[in-house]
Chains A and B, each alone.
Chain A
């Protein structure tokens, strides 16, 4: 019993730490509608400001006031105004991308501004950190543990009451459901949304300052890890219930300590299992809890007065531009291939190889996210499965590495199918988190084994050889990788234009509708996940062969996050988007690695910043540029003159991105001919006119 208590008790403060972060997640989710993966980064900013204030000789309470009371709320306000104001009632993927971007950009901004040095012994705000206040069952309870427990319970209680019983809490929940409907009821959704972000950021600040002293050094990684564990705690409460979140957090903390206590020390299990426990719990929770199986996201009832989203394909473009861009593309490809084999220096050939391999992995994201709207945060994990399978088969069984790569593709596809069987019911955020959980379990438990990735030391993967033809040199390997990319790109293109693409499009549009015409949505999901897993596995195997040595660190969950963000920025709906993303990612990494070490975070910073633009341009950089060029070309060739609106309705009124609805509607009806016309049927702007009068939609004039 004593031993049990000795293992269990230290879990309580740790569990409270999870719960505190989780409460912040739940608050942001309920009050602002965003599953804020950047919460840990916000906490880090607050902890760093306190550290810097104290290091500059300010009294600790001034520093605390500054970081919790000024820096954090201000950050929340800025985030709302700059980013999340535009994503209210948007789809989960749209809010997830900037959140991941922030997760990367905030810590790297700190590194770039204040230098990347280590910050030792973060100051403790309340009870003296290392002082032992009393002991239970022979266990010393120190100040940090005591204060975290007390404060967490207090905060969860206050938040719970505030959301449930106050007018502000009610208004926040209403704005998350539908900002427009709330406005029609007289709620100022802009103000309420900003309040939600300020409040949640304040909580992040408090958490940051409280949790920082738990670790010996102040590092953003600690906060990110904590956050991922906190997600599991939040899953106990289905991301909604604060009391269950607290209970979940504490249970997780206790279970983690107990497992660490009872497992034999020194094995891979005891190293990986306690830290991976939250993700196993998260996976199980997501799959088992019926709440998460509800695939429908909350649909804003006022959605119809929103301008229809920009179509992601270019509607039409001038023939000159079409032919011109194709010709230019072909010429560039030929020039590229020739230079590759002749004069490009070795290290750049290597970078291009990386770009090509990334492109293959990124195509799996196009298939999953672009075509079927599934968010997977585990594509790097599938790449790892492919790489390790190829390497192990080549090293231990003497297979050719190409056979190994094909086997890796098959294994990754099989793992994808197996993972998809339980997760095929999930969608949106729940699916993203389940894949994140899977990624963490793989990188913490499976990849460290010597038969898999052999942990941080990694394994070697040879370059391929087909009969007499050797691909030892980077240049020849490049040719092979290009062929593989071509094959995968053609496969994805065929699927997209064929039946599979159409059925996936239908499922993306309406799951219920797709079932009603006879599409087996579950089967399609499992197939897509397996295909995407296979593609990523092939990319991973080639990556291994190019690098010639890979370790578990190459395929961690944070790599998957970066992958998703990169593809989202450049263009998740198009094949060219994936290829351009792969090449530019490799080239950018190479350029930045030549800069002084102070700028090592620059890549992350740039990516993060770019992710923030995603909110405005979800079609991605590639499509945006194409559209922009096409627009100019149209102007130059003067083809747009006199072309009718998309739906054939006359011009004026409020503009719906090209088409026009509600023609200069004024209520007297005497000035606009078609309003006072013979009939006023549906589809002629009556709804839009209503919206225009009631106000929630801005007029175009």
Chain B
């Protein structure tokens, strides 16, 4: 069977060096944390009691959330519920006022964004953050380069900085997977919104992540592309044991792919559980759909 994406040898989580990472046990000490009863196997990505205020507005209040390996968790809620802020807090783009973030049991909440990414968290953005001036192919190659940490100043100076054949092949395979072969060598600013979203998705997958955090990946996509993205997510979870946290307004897509749903409203988790049950809750229907 063909690998989902050409990632070569899957890196074990323990191989991922990330500089001086304090292990979770060494920093554990807060009473709140000791009190939490946790399974012996920590979940893949876990946010504990994240709070963030913007001036007078409480964007997030004590939000906790976890994603297990191979699981697709849908994060839904009306606009302004705090979904993107939660993403940004978990990834370090925004510093939360309080709260802890763990990846595989390691505390990561004091790390800069790029270190968290190197530990295995990949993301896409609600408002596009593609590399203008570069083509989709170049996006994938640079992402692969960085995640493998196989390049650098000295390698460049030795003249060994050009894309290698395996890298080219991996990029080609990813282009194939996300359906961008036709526009592989067009700079991204000439692409439509939907194609650019797929570039971001492909770039995130190229990192061969442990966790994939997707912020409204389907907005701007047409029906066929949505189905494709859904299929890619399912396969990532099933074949490569990737945990996916999915912010999405398209409830059809969420219920198709997600195994668990977390509903956020006004910065609070108002419901959590299986997709069908949660969507049937009156509170959720009221907050999200406007009909009780």
A residues contacting B by CB (< 8 A) are: 304, 308-309, 311-312, 491, 494-495, 497-503, 505-506, 508-510, 512-521, 527, 646-648, 656, 659, 679, 681-684, 687
Query: Within the assembled complex, what's the spacing in Å between the Cα atoms of A497 and B93?
Result: 30
A517 near B161 with CB under 8 A, answer no
B142 near A683 with CB under 8 A, answer no
Whether, in the assembled complex, B207 has its beta carbon less than 8 Å from a beta carbon of chain A, the answer is yes
Whether, in the assembled complex, B203 has its beta carbon less than 8 Å from a beta carbon of chain A, the answer is yes
B residues contacting A by CB (< 8 A) are: 91, 93, 112-115, 117-118, 122-123, 125, 129-134, 138-139, 141-143, 145-147, 150-153, 155-157, 159-162, 182-183, 186-195, 200, 203-204, 206-207, 220-225
Query: Within the assembled complex, what's the spacing in Å between the Cα atoms of A509 and B131?
Result: 4
Query: Within the assembled complex, what's the spacing in Å between the Cα atoms of A510 and B131?
Result: 5
- The residue of chain A having its C-beta at the shortest distance from the C-beta of B150 within the complex is A499
B192 / chain A contacts, CB cutoff of 8 Å: 682-684, 687
Q: Using known A-B contacts A512-B125, A681-B222, determine if residue A499 contacts B157 with beta carbons closer than 8 Å.
A: no
A500 near B156 with CB under 8 A, answer yes
Between A and B, 23 residue pairs with Cβ closer than 8 Å are: A494-B156, A498-B160, A502-B151, A503-B142, A505-B134, A508-B132, A510-B131, A512-B125, A512-B129, A513-B125, A515-B93, A515-B112, A516-B113, A516-B204, A517-B142, A527-B153, A647-B182, A647-B186, A648-B183, A656-B190, A682-B193, A683-B191, A683-B194
A684 / chain B contacts, CB cutoff of 8 Å: 192
Query: Within the assembled complex, what's the spacing in Å between the Cα atoms of A497 and B156?
Result: 8
Query: Within the assembled complex, what's the spacing in Å between the Cα atoms of A502 and B188?
Result: 15
A495 near B157 with CB under 8 A, answer yes
Q: Using known A-B contacts A513-B130, A517-B122, A517-B207, determine if residue A498 contacts B162 with beta carbons closer than 8 Å.
A: yes
A503 near B155 with CB under 8 A, answer no
B186 near A659 with CB under 8 A, answer yes
A499 / chain B contacts, CB cutoff of 8 Å: 145, 150-152, 155-156, 161
Query: Within the assembled complex, what's the spacing in Å between the Cα atoms of A573 and B222?
Result: 37
> Contacts A312-B133, A494-B157, A659-B190 given; 11 further ones with Cβ under 8 A?
A308-B187, A308-B190, A494-B159, A497-B156, A502-B138, A506-B131, A517-B207, A518-B118, A648-B182, A679-B222, A683-B192
Shortest CB-to-CB span from A400 to chain B, Å, is 25
B190 near A647 with CB under 8 A, answer yes
B189 near A308 with CB under 8 A, answer yes
Q: Using known A-B contacts A513-B130, A518-B147, determine if residue A681 contacts B224 with beta carbons closer than 8 Å.
A: yes
Shortest CB-to-CB span from A306 to chain B, Å, is 9
Q: Using known A-B contacts A498-B161, A513-B130, determine if residue A506 contacts B142 with beta carbons closer than 8 Å.
A: yes
B125 / chain A contacts, CB cutoff of 8 Å: 512-513, 516
A506 / chain B contacts, CB cutoff of 8 Å: 131, 134, 139, 142
- The residue of chain B having its C-beta at the shortest distance from the C-beta of A679 within the complex is B222
- The residue of chain B having its C-beta at the shortest distance from the C-beta of A657 within the complex is B190
B123 / chain A contacts, CB cutoff of 8 Å: 516
Query: Within the assembled complex, what's the spacing in Å between the Cα atoms of A595 and B191?
Result: 52
Residue from B132, B155, B223 having most chain A Cβ neighbours under 10 A = B132
B130 near A509 with CB under 8 A, answer yes
- The residue of chain A having its C-beta at the shortest distance from the C-beta of B224 within the complex is A681
B152 / chain A contacts, CB cutoff of 8 Å: 499-500
9 closest A-B pairs by CB? A498-B161, A499-B151, A509-B131, A498-B156, A683-B192, A681-B222, A513-B129, A682-B194, A518-B117
Shortest CB-to-CB span from B233 to chain A, Å, is 18
B187 near A311 with CB under 8 A, answer yes
B183 / chain A contacts, CB cutoff of 8 Å: 647-648
- The residue of chain B having its C-beta at the shortest distance from the C-beta of A511 within the complex is B129
B221 / chain A contacts, CB cutoff of 8 Å: 682
Shortest CB-to-CB span from B25 to chain A, Å, is 25
A505 near B138 with CB under 8 A, answer yes
B151 / chain A contacts, CB cutoff of 8 Å: 498-500, 502
Contact of B146 among A519, A646, A648, A687 (CB under 8 A): A519
